[in-house]
Amino acid sequence: MSSDINTPQNGMVKDVELKSSMRKVAITALAGTSIEWYDFFLYATAAALVFPSVFFPEFSPTTGLILSFLTFAAGFIARPVGGVLFGHFGDRIGRKRTLVIALMVMGVASTMIGLLPTYATIGVAAPIILTLLRFTQGLAIGGQWGGAMLLVTESAPADQRGWYGAYAQAGAPVGVILANLAFIIISRSVSDEFFMAWGWRIPFLASVALIGISMYVQLNLEDTKAFKELEAQREKRQFDATDTHQPVKRSPVLEAIRKYPKRIALAAGAFLSVQVSFYILIAFIISYGIDPDGANVSRNTMLAALLIASALQIPAQFWASGYSDRHGRRGIFMLGAILTGVWAFALFPLVATGNFLLIVLGICGGLVFLGFMYGPQAAFFTELFSTEVRYSGASLGYQLGAILGGAFAPTIAVYLWREYAIVWVSVYIAVASALALLSVLMLTETYKTSLSATE
């Protein structure tokens, strides 16, 4: 007698297996993206605190800080290049293998920054090599986001894509927490002299852990159902004797640009507010906080405030992502853009008080409201593109928004503050938020979209 494969018990077993599999995928994506972003944000903290004196000692403090933030920008210039490069292979050979390569590239580049000689040792070659390594970090982060995001969202149940996508997105605030914890622990464990000479290198050298995570992903995770279905369709077309005149499709990146130019541009616009606000809140705000013309507080005070605020950003992102599964992506995204733009005018007055709790409140408000956009973004961008160009299209929108919004945000903020007044940095954030709001208004709702579509 044949077994009944459709019994309720078997259905429950399948549900349990699916949830267990999704948890493994989600936790792995969170671990990988957290350390990947840790490496990327570690550079932001070092660019504000260490690199001006270590790699640009010949310049004034302000000029050294601007030059340091310009090397920081090199990572953003590389991100669209990484998005194009990894997007091509992600749509061709799979999400998993491409993610593994991106994780390994980041691990190697960050470890090499920790080993890099200073300006005092090798002169002008030091900042040049630093910039090249930062560019390599940007290539890796440009590829990592698309791979991790699609590995989760394409595997998730249709009504939980936002929630599970938030695991990949949570890697950003977790990365900030890890980066700042690393600097707090090291700076409190050694003297200022040792920290500036050697101590700052230790967090970068810890990046070697990414290589281990990349091997785990390679050995223990499968590619997504959507990509497997796409592969099956490609094989069927290839071996179908009645389909001998199928045209050879161009690069997935070119195909994405041909099919979805408006969506890519609007996705980039939607990301502007997140990028401008985020990098002001995690990089520029530290320089402003420790400066006598700003809050004039200690380095560890600013790092601790940022750590607390980043921790609160995580539940905000998950809440917003779960909300987007039930009510749609656009509404919560637009609310986040509005609140981020308004809060920008409260941020710097709160930080300038020098009161620790008010500094935490100021940064926390910015990161929480930003999280209303960043949390649902993985599912939102996934749903904008069809399977065969999804990695390329989503990565292009994300990384173009990153370079336009985040690349020069700390540098522009320093310039506006020094040349005009700190309120103009708030105006800068508000304008970026308005552009993001308009971009989302021009996009359609996506949360009920099928991810099986390939045309």
CA neighbor of 370 nearest in space, from 424, 412, 396, 409? 409
4 part of a folded domain: no
Which residue segment(s) compose the domain that 59 sits in? 22-235+251-441
Spell out the per-residue pLDDT of the chain, length 455, in tens: 444 455 555 555 555 565 667 777 788 778 777 877 787 778 877 887 788 888 988 888 888 888 888 887 888 788 788 877 877 776 776 667 777 788 888 888 888 998 999 888 998 999 999 999 989 988 888 777 777 777 788 788 888 888 988 888 888 888 888 888 888 888 788 787 888 888 888 888 887 877 777 677 666 666 556 555 655 665 555 555 445 444 445 677 788 888 888 999 999 999 999 999 998 998 888 888 888 888 888 888 888 899 899 999 999 999 999 999 999 999 999 999 999 999 999 999 999 999 999 999 999 999 999 999 999 998 898 888 887 888 888 888 888 888 888 778 888 998 899 889 999 999 999 999 999 999 999 998 888 887 765 44
Supply the pLDDT for residue 247.
Answer: 47
| Contact present, 47 and 68 (Cβ < 8 Å) | yes
| Contact present, 147 and 102 (Cβ < 8 Å) | yes
168 part of a folded domain: yes
13 part of a folded domain: no
2 part of a folded domain: no
Helices (H), 241-389: 252-259, 261-279, 285-290, 299-327, 329-352, 356-383
Q: Is 267 exposed, middle or buried (0-12, 13-18, 19+ CB in 10 A)?
A: buried
Supply the pLDDT for residue 249.
Answer: 58
Supply the pLDDT for residue 218.
Answer: 63
245 part of a folded domain: no
Supply the pLDDT for residue 360.
Answer: 94
Which domain CATH number covers 281?
1.20.1250.20
Supply the pLDDT for residue 248.
Answer: 43
171 part of a folded domain: yes
17 part of a folded domain: no
Number of structural domains (the chain) is 1
Supply the pLDDT for residue 226.
Answer: 56
Q: Is 419 exposed, middle or buried (0-12, 13-18, 19+ CB in 10 A)?
A: exposed
366 part of a folded domain: yes
